[in-house]
Structure 1
Amino acid sequence: MQANMTVTPARLPELLLHVAVVRPVFLWGAPGIGKSSLVRDFAGSLGLECVTLLGTQLAPEDLIGVPELRDGRSRFAPPESIARDEPYCLFLDELNASSPEVQKAFYSLILDRRIGTYELPEGSVVIGAGNRATDNALARPMASALINRLVHVHMRASVDDWLKWAVDHGIHPWIVDYLVQRPDHLWSAPPKTEEAFSSPRAWHMLSDVITSYGEGIDDETLAILAFGTLTATHASAFRAYVKTVRHAYDLDAVIKGDAPWPRRPEERDLLYFLSETFRARLVKELPADKRGGGRHGRDLAFRAKALLVELAEISLECAQLVIAEDEHGAPVLPTWFLVEVGRDLPRLAAARAGHRS
């Protein structure tokens, strides 16, 4: 299903409060962005127990129940997990990954709030969730009759929302600080092959295992864990970031001139990380229009050009990485700055060479 409009995790509770209490809702979103935990938190905010049914682990009889004799007549007895006297939140996780027969069994439960003669208690809410076929996750087509019984909400990952949550839930400070600097690394599109990929869930797992090892975790172990939970690019950058923390390398110090770019061959991953972080800093802080940047923008641009010269002396590849276009061939940094780079860098390089001689 295509997402024409999306919501962030912070917006979801308010939406569910007004929608899920009157109509069943289906949450679409990539794996690992927190759909299940958000539903459980929402149920808790209403004082409701959250009963989770995994569509991939169900057979139709798990919903419909089994026949029993009562007063000489047979009737289907719904399972104990569903047939409750008090209102609750029924969470149908991985609903669109269930078989067509199980999806059909959900019809009356979703629309009529009943299974056989059993009706959900007044005040209960029904929420479904699932991944999209485009996420390379297990997803079966949903029949139009089922789709039309649900209000569909598409979620997207939000680094601001996740960081606020992370601070309150003990996520390791290395990870929090890293994602503050590289918010674009919170989530990556699921790959088409069996590879680890970055997501809020993956960062949470990495936090748990780093915390389990403690601050003394060695670099090789950290690398094993990072590459086992994140994309290779993000894992390599995070590993380099931890080295900057441990070796007191800091981009602010480099920009201020208090520390040099790392030059030793064994520090090459640090150089790549600092180069990527430098690029992200320029994207964030350089004004789109030079005239509207104020003194900070002018000072940063002036210093950035000098730093690019220094960086190019160490690694031309890293210097090119800072000013590179995006994957579509469009400039990432402001055009006025790129023009100045092309105009001023040869002069700055010559002046630096003359100063050394």
Structure 2
Amino acid sequence: MDVLLDAVDRALESLRRRWPGVLFALGLTVWILATAAAVTVTVMSGSPAIGVSMVVLPAALLIIVTIRGLDGLPWPIWPLGVAFTVLLAGLLSPLAQRFHDPFDWLVPILVFIYAQIFLGTLTAADELKRRRSAQDTEMSPIGERRILQVKLLVATLVVLGSAQVAVGLDGDPDAYRPGNSVGESTFEGGISCLSVPMLVGVWWRRRGLAWYAIAVLPTLFALSLIPRTPEARWEALLSQGWIVIAATWQWGKATRAPSWPHQPNHPQQPQQWQPQPWQPQPWQPQPWQPQPWQQNNTPAQGYPPPPPAQFPPPSPGQYPPQHPQPGPWQHRPPDQSSR
């Protein structure tokens, strides 16, 4: 599965480099249609403020990235632009487990796909900006880190939200079914405690926390399958199982990404060799010996060239100008002073 996901990621990367304009137009069209559908639902449910926030912040981020790129974004603009996408994953995924079928398994899938489309459109917009400015076609470590951070956060929140199972159907605490609106969620306390290092690792960017997420995230989802009925268990595996695999693969990508954690490459100064106390010291000429640059008028290897000679400027009249005198076979110019 890891090989398959790597192949898909390389194929998308190749398409983005070859046809960035086509991918940007396609992603923008799909994002507009998805946003319009979501805004219509929120407005009909009596929440127009949520619908406005769904449009304004992501649209502003798309416009700024198209103009300035991912590297030229000031710090507050990026978190505000992706805040709505992260909130969708953090709020709707746990609530979807209490919805009726098919929304209990369809909502997490739509949230995950919406985030991938939005981030892919941002990546294509950044590619177009770099093409216009004649910069390097490779995305900078800052842009890669920002996109990977949001992908990890969204995928982790979707998996953690899907791992919460509502319990207490019709007053019977032994009947476990996802989609139930009665009672609290199973493993809610354990999930909250075990998910804190993963959420911290998204921003702190340590490889040890990434390996922790690779081990804990599938385990939490597997534990959430225990209290479900056999039908709900297969339904969860088919609907959210591939999201768990994708989230685990993205955490694995973070462990081997050069930009995770991002460390600026400062140019290193070449270090001169210093002999140890037990090693022979390099030869140094004594005061009575000729210096290295005095041999054959060439500086020796490893020694600096001699300083340029300093001569005082000549005083006026010290060196009168000399005019060339013609030879006996040459024509002498006529004497102008006798005229």
Q: What's the TM-score, normalizing by structure 2?
A: 0.20
Bigger proportion of residues as strand: 1
Q: What's the TM-score, normalizing by structure 1?
A: 0.20
Select the structure of larger CA radius of gyration.
Answer: 2
